[in-house]
Structure 1
């Protein structure tokens, strides 16, 4: 039976407040400085001093500005770093706007196809409502970026640069989503009115033409061929005329995308370890690459990441960067804020409970470029972010190993570092991965 809060209860709560030592001091600090500043732990600055026993030099960080393309920036960072070294091009960047254009175009078609497939379900159905809530967005996943490159290739940033609408994507997303919702409702009506598949397809293509026009005006028309010219760090001039985006990727980047697989750590009851999962409605290219995650224990994930770093290859990873992080200092640490001490409460939760309750989910992708090993055990990690060079240590962050345990959920690993057993688990499980619900936290990075 529901009971109201009584005056007696409030009086008891007020009396109990006086029993907590230091509550007046805590109140003064919190009210004057805010909760995070009042509870900040200066020891974290000492413990996370940016020195690492294993470290890969990667140069100046990129800047995603006011957009949600962290997954895209960080994935392209893993591809540009070897190219910078091989061709001696300091601070070279691949075009994030080029993949951004094709991602939004493909996501629009993905939305239309899912709307058509679910047209017989009511708008109030939770999955249909989920589709219409965010028809497309800036977020994504490693496999989605790989699918775009496999279909469209990639170009240098100098060939297809950022625009005002890629740097600050809110107006473009708002405009595009308004159109997609309007068109989605029409497609549902056509299907439910008994129109033929061809009639629905023809109308969908007319809608895609409008989407293409919006993207072309906002972001520019992507090149089909271009001239690649640059002056290397030794001041030597290079030029290759008339190269296609796919040929450019094959020749200058040359990464075998099939060799890289997504590993997750989700210790929830619905995701047994050593099984492969996908997420319903998570994708961008119809009939393209499927998002696949192999769930491993956190210690297994760390071992694989360390092996890859020691070989000289950086690691793309997904995490909950909004938790226990100090952006300006560039620190990710479970002890950075001591809110439990400030309020004399217990805020501890297991990683599984955080995921199951919505307390935590993937909201940001970055790149691991180093690790500090003490007695062969990691103590802290070097992180390349995509927020420019102002925050942290010239754009780089330091992550404590405890923060990794709690808030790192995904890493992309080269297959050559997997054991034969784990490799087989991924290959076999990828044939028919377990489908997670669209709102599962392992898909949150792509739907933000």
Structure 2
């Protein structure tokens, strides 16, 4: 039976409001200051003192500015940490613009291929709608960055610096997505007309030629060979000539990317723990590394992060940064805002329910560079962000352990830290992960 709101209902609602103690005081505070400022808990500021028992030396933070490349910055930051230490280059950065160029180029081809795969589906089909909603964007995941490096290598930031369009990406995204949607119309029509696969490929190559030209206009020409020139922290001069992006990566970073695996904590009924998952239509490099996640319980999840930090290596992670977070103070804590207490309402919802009901998903990637252990248990974590040094403590944030439990969804761990039973799962299911729908929350792209 449909029940509308009646005048009698409104009268009762007003009476109920007046019956709440201090209702006018609470109303005045929220009206003038908003929910967050009115409910901010000063005790949280004291508890999130930025001192940690394990604190890696990582240097000055980077700044992604007005772009959604957090996942890229975070991944390159984890790689530059060891490079800075080994070669004594303080505050060195790898080129985020170089990987950005190839990411957008490869995402365009990935989009074209998915358009062709779904060309027989009607407009209005959920998969087609999913593709057309955002043909490409700045965001991504760890495995997508690995796919780019495995194919194209990386370069120092000095070799391919930032541009207006890399730092402020909305204009480029707008015009590129316009082109991709227009091309989708043409590709779907070619399939409908029964055009041969060979002729469709010729047309697609012409489209990619235009994408490459657009990206070069916006982001600059990608280097194929370069000299790496720098002074180390002892003021010694170095020059390394005739490097390629691949040889630079091999010599100066040298990570075996296949050793690093994505671990998720998704406590939902559709994803049993200790199994491997992938997401349909999620990726960037066609034929490249597939996005794969090993789902683990939160205690195992955190212990793996601690082991990697204890070994002196930082941890890439993905979370829902906007939840219970103060950007200016650099605090992420479930107690920083006490809205439920202020409103006298039960606003509790489990981590799994947040994922299932659209309340939360991964929005931002950062790097864990420290942890405070008390009697072997974590109480707070040090986080290197990529929003510049004007927020937090010179760009570093503090994350409470309770916030980690509720809003961290993904970490990247070297396989050597996995216990034997989990290494076996990762190996046994590598070629047959459970495939999740394109819109599954574990397919969210970090883009804040």
Give the TM-score normalised by the residue count of structure 1.
Answer: 0.99
CA deviations on 1:49-96 (whole Å, 9 max, x unpaired) are 001011101010000001100000000000001000111101000000
Q: Is it true that 1:361 corresponds to 2:361 in the alignment? A: yes
The equivalent residue for 2:305 is 305
Given that 1:317 and 1:365 are in contact with CA atoms closer than 8 Å, whether structure 2 keeps it comes out as yes
Pairing of 1:309-320 with structure 2 (within 5 A): 309-320=309-320
Residue of structure 1 in register with 2:7 after alignment: 7
- Cα distance, 1:316 vs structure 2: 0.1
* Structure 1 segment 237-316 matched on structure 2, within 5 A: 237-316=237-316
Structure 2 counterpart of 1:208: 208
Partner deviation per Cα, 1:169-193 (whole Å, 9 max, x = no partner): 0000000000000001100100110
Conserved? CA contact 1:23–1:343, under 8 Å: no
Deviation at 1:375, TM superposition (A): 0.9
* Aligned-partner Cα distance in 2 for 1:373–1:445: 31
User: C-alpha distance in 2, partners of 1:446/1:89?
Assistant: 28
Contact kept, 8 Å, 2:264 with 2:296, in 1: the verdict is: yes
Q: Deviations over 1:307-349 (max 9, x none)?
A: 0000100000000001110000000011111111221111100
Q: Report if the CA contact (8 A) 1:373-1:379 is conserved.
A: yes
SS state at 1:405 partner: helix
How many Å apart are 1:28 and its aligned residue? 1.4
Question: Is 1:68 the counterpart of 2:68 in the alignment?
Answer: yes
User: Could you say what secondary structure the match of 1:73 adopts?
Assistant: helix
Give the conservation status (yes or no) of the 8 Å contact 2:71–2:447. Answer: no
Structure 2 gaps, min length 5:
none
- Quote the Cα distance in structure 2 between the aligned partners of 1:280 and 1:139: 17
Asked whether the equivalents of residues 163 and 219 of structure 2 are also in contact (C-alpha less than 8 Å), the reply is yes
8 Å contact kept, 1:20–1:344? no
The aligned residue for residue 375 of structure 1 is 375
Aligned to 2:197: 197
Distance 2:140 2:368 in 1: 18
Within 1, Cα distance between the matches of 2:229 and 2:447?
37
In structure 1, the residue matched to 2:327 is 327
SS at match of 2:240: strand
Q: Is the 8 A contact 1:282 1:446 kept in 2?
A: no
Instruction: Please report the RMSD computed on the Cα atoms of aligned residues, expressed in angstroms.
Output: 0.8
Whether the 8 Å CA contact 1:99–1:148 is kept in 2: the answer is yes
In 1, Cα distance between equivalents of 2:185 and 2:88 = 51
CA shift, 1:3, in A, is 1.3
Contact 2:56 2:312 survives alignment (8 Å): yes
Shift of 1:447: 7.6
Deviations 1:218-264 (A, max 9, x none): 00010000010000010000001110000000000111101100000
TM-score by length of 2: 0.99
**Residues 94, 155 of structure 1: 8 Å contact kept:** yes
Structure 2 equivalent of residue 21 of structure 1: 21
Q: Secondary structure at the match of 1:445?
A: coil
